[in-house]
Amino acid sequence: MQVLHVCSELFPLLKTGGLADVAGALPAAQIAEGDDVRVLIPAFPDIKKGIGETQLVGTLDTFAGHVSLLYAVYQGVGVYLIDTPGLYDRPGSPYHDQSSNAYSDNHLRFALLSWMACELACGFDSHWKPEVVHSHDWHAGLTSAYIVARGRPAKTVFTVHNLAFQGLFFAHHLAELQLPADFFQMHGLEFYGQISFLKAGLFYSDHVTTVSPTYAKEITQPAFGYGMESLLLERQNQGKLTGILNGVDEAIWEPKTDVLLSARYSADDLRAKSINKTYLQRAMGLDVDDSRLVFAVVSRLTSQKGLDLVLEGLPELLEQGGQLAVLGAGDAVLQQAFLAAAADHPGQVGVQLGYHEAFSHRIIAGADVIMVPSRFEPCGLTQLYGLKYGTLPLVRRTGGLADTVVDCALENLADGTASGFVFEESTGKSLSNAIRRAFVLWSRPKHWRHVQHHAMGIDFGWKVAAQAYKNLYQRL
C-alpha cells in the first residue's frame, strides 16, 4: 500500500517534540512491514541541509507562491520537500521566530504543506501516487479538507499528537487559502468564528487516530477535549476514532548499543548502569554515591507536564535522601524555581536548562527513576525510554502513561507485571506518596532489580504500531 505521511518535523533532522520521533520512526517501520511509505515536509533549513542531494519532481504556482517539489531518499525513506524559500528558509523554530513569536504567515506556510499533500494525492508525481494520506497535528490539518474539496482522490487519516495545539487563524484568510466558502461552518473547519486547522483534520478525515488508547477516550471529555469533545465523541460513535500507541525506535533507544552512554548494559547484566549513574551525578554536580536514589526529569518545563508538582514533592524526595537531576526549558517561573532549588540544595539537586538529545540519553541511563507527572499526556515517549533503560517511570495515570506503566502495588509485584510508580491525582501529596513508594522498593534491591528486568523486557517497538496502522489503512 502506498502511504504519504504529512508532517512538520522529522527526527533526527528537525525536532521540537515527540512528533519528530514518530515521523522519524513510523515510516521506516511501515516499510519493514511491506508498505510503500513516503514523507512530505517543508524544506526548512535543517531539513534541506540534512537531506543532502535531491531531485526535482516538478514546480507549480500556488496561493502561497511558486513551489518546487524536491525528492530524496533519507535513511531508506522517500522524502518530498516543499521548497519555497520565502516561506520556510528562516531562522528560529518551524513555527516561531527567534523571539518565540509565531510567524504572521503561518496560515500560508502550513496550508501549503496540506495543499501539496493534496496535489500528490491527485497525481502530481507521475511516478508515485498515495492511496492513503496520513497527516499529523494541526500543521497538516487542512490536508483532508483539500482532499475532500478535490473529490477524495485518496483515503485520509489524521493523527492528533496533542489536542492542545489547534492552529487557529482569522476567518478572512479562508479565501486566501482557496478553500470552498461552505467549509467555514460548524460542520466544517469553523471554531468560534476562526479557522481551525486542527478541526479540519478531525472533521474531514476518513479516520482520526491519537497516540494512545486512553488519550483517545479522554479527548471525548470536556476536561481534555479543548472544545472539540463533541466532535470527537461523534467520531468515536461512528467508529472513526482510534488510539494507537507510539513506539520506541530501538535503533536509537537501546542501552545495549547506545553509543551516547558512558557504558552500555542490558537487562541481563545491569552492572554497567552504575557507571552511567556516576557520570550523571558528576555532570549534574550531585554527590557521587551509588546508594542514593536518583530521580530525573527530562521535559519541557510547563504546567501541562506537572513540573510544579515535582517542586511540591521535592522536600519529601530530599528528606528521604534522594537526588534530583533536571534537564529542560520552558516556563520562566518554573526554570527559576528549579535553579533556586539547585542553589539551595547543592549536591542534591542539579539543573541544566535547555535540551540536549545526547545528554537526555545519559540522564535516562544514569537515573534510577524518571518522573513524568503530566496533567495530560497523549502518549509520552520519555516513560517508554525509561522502561527500556531500566529507569523506572514515576507517572500520573493519564493518557499514554496509563497505558504503558504498571504500578508497583503489592499485587502487581506478586504477579510480575509491575514496571513503575503510578499516582492518581494532580497534587503534590499524591506525587509525594509515589516518591515514598519508590524509596520503599529501593530499600529492597532484589525486588527493584526484578521490576527493572521486567520493564526492560516489555516490547514497545514500532512494529506493533506499524501493523495496527496497516490494518486501519486496509479497512479504509
Q: How many domains does the chain divide into?
A: 2
Give the pLDDT confidence of 56-88 residue by residue, as tens digits.
Answer: 999 999 999 999 999 999 999 999 999 999 999
The answer to whether residues 147 and 214 belong to one domain is: yes
Q: What is the pLDDT of residue 98?
A: 86
Rounded to an integer, the average pLDDT of 391-400 is 98
Read off the pLDDT band of 91 (50, 70, 90).
confident
Helix (DSSP H) and strand (DSSP E) numbers for the chain: 19, 18
In three-state secondary structure terms, 384 is helix
d(CA 438, CA 407): 10
Instruction: Identify whether 258 is part of a domain.
Output: no
The answer to whether residues 306 and 421 belong to one domain is: yes
* 396 residue type, one letter: R
Read off the pLDDT band of 154 (50, 70, 90).
very high
Instruction: Identify whether 8 is part of a domain.
Output: yes
Rounded to an integer, the average pLDDT of 285-306 is 96
The answer to whether residues 13 and 147 belong to one domain is: yes
d(CA 306, CA 371): 10
The answer to whether residues 80 and 210 belong to one domain is: yes
- Position 99 pLDDT exceeds 90: no
- DSSP-derived letter for residue 179 is -
d(CA 263, CA 272): 6
Instruction: Identify whether 363 is part of a domain.
Output: yes
Distance from chain centroid for Cα 249: 12
Consult the annotation and say whether 15 binds a ligand. Answer: yes
Q: What is the pLDDT of residue 437?
A: 97
The answer to whether residues 204 and 165 belong to one domain is: yes
Residue 181, class by beta-carbon neighbours within 10 Å (0-12 exposed, 13-18 middle, 19+ buried)? exposed
- Position 16 pLDDT exceeds 90: no
- Position 308 pLDDT exceeds 90: yes
Instruction: Identify whether 81 is part of a domain.
Output: yes
Percent with pLDDT over 90 in the chain: 96
Instruction: Identify whether 125 is part of a domain.
Output: yes
Nearest-10 crossing angle of helices 229-237, 197-204: 20
CB atoms within 10 A of CB 472: 18
Rounded to an integer, the average pLDDT of 233-237 is 98
HEC profile of 9-37: CECCCECCCHHHHHHHHHHHHHHHCCCEE
The answer to whether residues 339 and 379 belong to one domain is: yes
Rounded to an integer, the average pLDDT of 282-290 is 98
The answer to whether residues 127 and 24 belong to one domain is: yes
- Position 214 pLDDT exceeds 90: yes
The answer to whether residues 335 and 378 belong to one domain is: yes
The answer to whether residues 208 and 112 belong to one domain is: yes
Q: What is the pLDDT of residue 18?
A: 85
- Position 317 pLDDT exceeds 90: yes
Rounded to an integer, the average pLDDT of 245-265 is 95
Instruction: Identify whether 257 is part of a domain.
Output: no
CATH code, domain carrying 395:
3.40.50.2000
Instruction: Identify whether 63 is part of a domain.
Output: yes
Task: Answer yes or no: pTM beyond 0.85.
Answer: yes
Read off the pLDDT band of 100 (50, 70, 90).
confident
The answer to whether residues 191 and 332 belong to one domain is: no
Range of the domain at 92: 2-247+462-475
- Position 319 pLDDT exceeds 90: yes
- Position 355 pLDDT exceeds 90: no
**β partners of residue 78:** 38, 73
The answer to whether residues 232 and 290 belong to one domain is: no
Average pLDDT over all residues of the chain: 96
Q: What is the pLDDT of residue 17?
A: 83
Instruction: Identify whether 144 is part of a domain.
Output: yes
Give the pLDDT confidence of 412-460 residue by residue, as tens digits.
Answer: 999 999 999 999 999 999 999 999 999 999 999 999 999 999 999 999 9
d(CA 349, CA 327): 11
Rounded to an integer, the average pLDDT of 345-374 is 96
Identify the residue whose cell numbers are 544514569. Answer: 366
The answer to whether residues 398 and 440 belong to one domain is: yes
